[in-house]
C-alpha cells in the first residue's frame, strides 16, 4: 500500500496527552481503539460486530486438578458473521503490556471454550500488541503514533474478510499453553499411557519424544517430553530391547532416533514444565521435563 493511501486516523491526535495522569483507560478506548476498529470495518451491529465486555457463563480455565477463575473480561470481542474472531483488551497508558498478568488473562479468555479465537491483543494508547495463541512472541507490535505505517499489516491479519483465514495445520504446544496460563509451576503433572511413535537421543544426556495430549474434550495439543539418561533407564521393558540398546549407545552422529513401526508402545510419565523455550524451523515450543515413569496398569 502506498504511503499516501494509508489512512492516518490519528493525524490530529496529540499523543503527548498519554502522559497526563488523568488520561485513563476509558479515554484510550474512545480516542484510539474505537477509530482503529471502525477504520478496519467493525461496527456496533451487523456481520462485523464489536461486542463489548462479554461475560462468560463459566469463567474458569482448568488443567488437570488446577483451576483458575478469570478475573478479566476483555473490552472487545470482535465477531464476523456471528462467530468470534479475536479479542482486544484496553489498558491505561501507565500499564505495561508485557506484564505476564495481562498476557495470561487475555490468553485465557481467547482460548476459553465459549470464545476460542486465534488472536488476542492489548492496547494502552502507546502500543498495540497482537499475539497468536500458538506463538510465544507478538506477531505484530507497534507504537500507535505509527499506525499509518502498520495499517496494511493490521488489515492483513485482523480485517473482517481476513481474520478467519488462519492456519490450523500445526497443533498448539502444550508446554507453551501451560506457561501462558500461568500453570508452569506444577510440581507433578502425570500423563497416563501416552503412545510413543519414536524416541530421539539429542545429546549424551538428553532424550525426547512427542505425543498428542487432550486436557479436555474441546482441544488437543502436542507436548514434547525431555528426559535425561537416568530417566531413560526406566524405559527398559517398556520399549523393545533392541530399541533400548540402540538408544543406550554413545552418540556418534548429531542425533540418534528409533521409530516404532511394529506396534504402539505406551508409557505413563510424571513431569514438570520446562523453563527454556526451544525453536526449530517450524515452531517454538516449551518441553516438559520427565522425572519418572510410574507403573500404571494398561486398560483391559
For the segment 254-264, what is each residue's pLDDT rounded down to a tens digit? 678 898 877 88
Q: Where are the domains of the chain?
A: 3-158, 172-292
Q: Tell me, what DSSP letter sits at residue 144?
A: G
Q: What is the per-residue pLDDT for 281?
A: 60
The answer to whether the beta carbons of residues 91 and 98 sit under 8 Å apart is no
The class that CATH gives domain 3-158 is alpha beta
Q: Which positions of the chain have pLDDT values less than 50?
A: 1-5
Closest CA to 228 of 294, 287, 297, 296: 287
SS3 call for 73: coil
Q: What is the per-residue pLDDT for 123?
A: 97
Give the C-alpha distances (Å, rounded to integers) separating 129 from 22, 35, 73, 88, 201.
23, 16, 18, 9, 38
Q: What is the per-residue pLDDT for 276?
A: 86
What is the architecture, at CATH level 2, of domain 172-292?
Beta Barrel (2.40)
Q: What is the per-residue pLDDT for 33?
A: 96
Q: What is the per-residue pLDDT for 91?
A: 95
Amino acid at each position: 500500500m502506498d504511503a499516501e493511501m494509508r489512512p492516518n486516523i490519528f493525524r490530529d491526535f496529540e499523543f503527548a496527552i498519554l502522559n497526563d495522569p488523568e488520561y485513563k483507560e476509558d479515554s484510550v478506548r474512545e480516542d484510539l481503539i474505537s477509530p482503529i476498529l471502525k477504520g478496519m470495518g467493525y461496527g456496533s451491529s451487523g456481520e462485523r460486530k464489536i461486542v463489548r465486555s462479554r461475560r462468560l457463563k463459566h469463567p474458569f480455565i482448568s488443567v488437570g486438578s488446577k483451576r483458575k477463575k478469570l478475573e478479566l473480561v476483555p473490552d472487545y470481542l470482535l465477531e464476523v458473521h456471528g462467530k468470534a474472531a479475536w479479542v482486544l483488551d484496553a489498558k491505561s497508558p501507565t500499564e505495561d503490556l508485557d506484564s505476564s498478568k495481562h498476557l495470561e488473562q487475555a490468553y485465557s479468555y481467547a482460548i476459553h471454550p465459549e470464545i476460542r479465537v486465534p488472536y488476542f491483543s492489548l492496547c494502552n494508547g502507546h502500543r498495540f500488541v497482537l499475539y497468536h495463541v500458538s506463538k510465544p512472541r507478538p506477531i505484530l507490535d507497534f507504537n500507535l503514533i505509527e499506525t499509518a505505517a502498520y495499517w496494511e499489516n493490521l488489515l492483513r491479519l485482523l480485517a473482517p474478510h481476513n481474520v478467519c483465514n488462519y492456519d490450523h495445520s500445526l497443533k498448539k504446544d502444550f508446554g507453551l499453553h501451560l506457561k501462558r496460563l500461568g500453570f508452569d509451576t506444577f510440581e507433578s503433572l502425570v500423563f497416563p499411557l501416552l503412545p510413543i511413535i519414536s524416541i530421539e537421543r539429542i545429546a549424551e544426556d538428553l532424550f525426547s519424544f512427542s505425543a498428542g495430549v487432550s486436557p479436555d474434550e474441546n482441544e488437543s495439543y502436542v507436548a514434547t517430553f525431555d528426559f535425561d539418561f537416568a530417566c531413560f533407564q526406566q524405559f527398559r521393558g517398556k520399549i523393545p530391547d533392541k530399541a533400548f540398546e540402540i538408544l543406550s549407545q554413545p552418540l556418534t552422529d548429531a542425533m540418534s532416533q528409533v521409530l516404532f513401526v511394529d506396534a504402539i508402545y505406551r508409557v505413563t510419565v510424571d513431569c514438570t514444565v520446562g523453563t527454556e523455550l526451544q525453536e526449530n524451523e517450524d515452531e517454538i515450543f516449551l518441553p516438559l521435563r520427565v522425572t519418572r515413569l510410574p507403573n500404571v496398569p494398561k486398560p483391559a
